[in-house]
Amino acid sequence: MTLDTTWFTETYPKDGAAFSFKIKAKLHEERTPYQHIEIYDTEGFGKLMVIDGCVMLTDRDNFLYHEMMSHPVLFAHRAPKKVMVIGGGDCGTLREVLKHPGVEEAWQVEIDERVTRLAEKYFPELCSANDDPRARLYFGDGIQWLKDADPGSLDAIIVDSTDPVGPAEGLFNEAFYRNCHRALRPDGILVGQSESPLFHKALIESMHQAMRAAGFDHTRTLSFPQCVYPSGWWSATLAGKGVDPLQFREQDARKKEFDTLYYTADIHKAALVMPAFMEGIGG
Ligand code: SAM
């Protein structure tokens, strides 16, 4: 099969697979000091952002990822007030975090300001909470930010990063998780996007090991569908400081006073159930 130039294709060479979008127009392309960013208008998925050839998000399905990166960790915490998003420059995770009325301060530390500026232009609905007085946008390296963070100053850390290569490589290792552990208050919870259960099981296992080695007491992985990411199935891995992120404020999640398209209390429970080939990961 030949794909002509009206298609954008991300290939997964290691797994011998690919995912394509029919393109209406290329809206933008630039090389920043950190990465190569492209924005497309697609036939079926609305706008599409690509970084270094990897699909980041589309209008049509980003709610799955942004909701599952935010609400499980925030309902697992007993009362999250100060929340940190590392990466997440499209601002979709920040918007979900700010739906929680108890959150007093939500930081987004994104290394590449251009990602946010382009999101403001091409994905304005994801940036709709950026003017919230509780939002703090900072542009810099999340690894350094956490090294410098005051000990015991955060309730939840959400690592909404690119794949573990380039600037995001250092967001997946024990040294980084150690800094997260130090920056969290007792009862604090960390969550990081952890790629595909099917394609990247070894990475998920290594994240659990590194999180435990960094001092976290319990680690858990949740999964959710995401057809535009490799294998169509994605995950996030949680690590609790003195708490087990398997437990959550179920009644609060049931009577939440904000809208979601995917997240519900039942989805939360179901997402944490591991398939047979993943059983034994976490605990
Ligand atoms: N949902 C996406 C995915 O899993 O493909 C991630 C989206 S978000 C756009 C990822 C962001 O992480 C990018 O904008 C990138 O610039 C940022 N990032 C990568 N390394 C970083 C670092 N060390 N500190 C802060 N932000 C970083």
List, run by run, the mean pLDDT of 10-residue segments along the chain (283 residues): 76 96 97 97 98 97 98 98 98 98 98 98 98 98 97 98 90 96 98 97 97 98 98 98 98 98 98 95 90
| 160 CA distance to ligand 1 middle (Å) | 6
Task: Residue 39: give the domain boundaries.
Answer: 2-58
72, 107, 116, 157 from 125: Cα distances, Å? 22, 18, 12, 23
Best residue among 162, 199, 231 to mutate for probing ligand 1, ranked by most atoms within 8 Å of CB: 162
Which of 191, 173, 174 minimizes the C-alpha distance to 241? Answer: 191
| 230 CA distance to ligand 1 middle (Å) | 16
The pLDDT of residue 165: 87
Altogether, the residues listed in the chain come to a count of 283
Residues 8 and 74 in one domain: no
Residues 48 and 188 in one domain: no
| 228 CA distance to ligand 1 middle (Å) | 16
Q: What is the DSSP letter of 275?
A: P
Tokens coding 43: 């036939």
Element (DSSP H or E) covering residue 57:
strand 54-58
Residues 100 and 33 in one domain: no
Ligand 1 atom nearest residue 162's Cα: 10
Alpha-carbon span 268 to 76, nearest angstrom = 10
**CB-based contacts of 98, cutoff 8 Å, min separation 6:** 106, 129, 132, 134, 135
Residue with tokens 């050839």: 53
Alpha-carbon span 281 to 146, nearest angstrom = 26
| 112 CA distance to ligand 1 middle (Å) | 8
Residues 254 and 135 in one domain: yes
Residues 75 and 188 in one domain: yes
Could you give the residue numbers annotated as active site?
Answer: 160
Ligand 1 atom nearest residue 62's Cα: 1
| 171 CA distance to ligand 1 middle (Å) | 10
Residues 120 and 32 in one domain: no
- Contact by Cβ (8 Å): 87, 110: yes
Of 43, 58, 73, the position where a domain reaches its end is 58
Q: Tell me the residue type at 10.
A: E
pTM score: 0.97
Q: Whose CA is nearest to atom 18 of ligand 1?
A: 87
**CB-based contacts of 78, cutoff 8 Å, min separation 6:** 187, 243, 249
Q: Whose CA is nearest to atom 15 of ligand 1?
A: 87
The pLDDT of residue 100: 98
Residues with CB under 6 A from ligand 1: 34, 56-57, 65, 86-90, 109-112, 115, 141-143, 160-162, 167-168, 171, 193
Best residue among 59, 67, 111 to mutate for probing ligand 1, ranked by most atoms within 8 Å of CB: 111
Residues 156 and 263 in one domain: yes
- In terms of phi and psi (left: phi > 0; alpha: psi -120 to 50; beta: otherwise), the region of 227 is alpha
Q: Whose CA is nearest to atom 27 of ligand 1?
A: 87
Specify if 114 maps to a domain: yes
Specify if 223 maps to a domain: yes
Residues 187 and 205 in one domain: yes
